[in-house]
Structure 1
Amino acid sequence: MKSFGFLSFGHYDNGGDLDAGQMLRDAVEISVGADELGVNGAYFRVHHFATQAASPIPLLSTIAAKTNRIEVGTGVIDMR
């Protein structure tokens, strides 16, 4: 297999215990694990009305700094 990646459609909390910071930490942890497994790409949906997904650059920068081989980027930009 040449390439294998994942697209996150969001990690949204429906009134539970998670806050935006925890959701971002989870996204980084999932991406680091994917990199260790040999996944080639991690792409994140930009959602302007969700606190944790309104600005993807800090998240993508953090993932890039903590991984070795994985490509990061945005997969969907919601421009409602």
Structure 2
Amino acid sequence: MKAFGFLSFGHYGPGSAPGEYGAKEALQQAVEIGVGADEIGVNGAYFRVHHFAKQAASPMPLLSAIAARTKNIEVGTGVIDMR
């Protein structure tokens, strides 16, 4: 297999209920997933853009954070939700 990547749809909520992830946790986990994927040899990490969710409306800062902490993985957007 020459290339193997993943598309993250994410899981988030207001963060107010027990066990629910807010924006901070969702973004931290996305960076951790990207770093872990790079460490095991995954070639691509693509993240969903959701214009009505504050933490996912502008993916460039997230993609930059992942790119700054990884060496070999390609990062990008995979789904642009335009409801």
TM-score w.r.t. the length of structure 1 is 0.91
Contact 2:11 2:21 survives alignment (8 Å): no
In structure 1, the residue matched to 2:50 is: 47
Residue 42 of structure 1: SS of its match in structure 2?
strand
Gaps (5+ residues) in structure 1?
none
In structure 2, the residue matched to 1:2 is: 2
Aligned residues: 80
In structure 2, the residue matched to 1:13 is: 13
Of the structure 1 ranges 49-58 and 28-37, higher mean CA displacement relative to structure 2 is found in 49-58
How do 1:1-80 residues align onto structure 2 when only pairs under 5 Å count? 1-13=1-13, 16=17, 17-80=20-83
TM-score w.r.t. the length of structure 2 is 0.88
Q: Cα RMSD (Å) of the superposition?
A: 1.4
Mapped partners of 1:25, 1:40: distance in 2: 20
Mapped partners of 1:62, 1:76: distance in 2: 19
Deviation sequence 1:11-69 (CA, Å, 0-9, x none): 22376342201110000001100000000000000001112111100000000000000
- Report percent identity of matched pairs: 74
Letter in 1 for 2:62: L
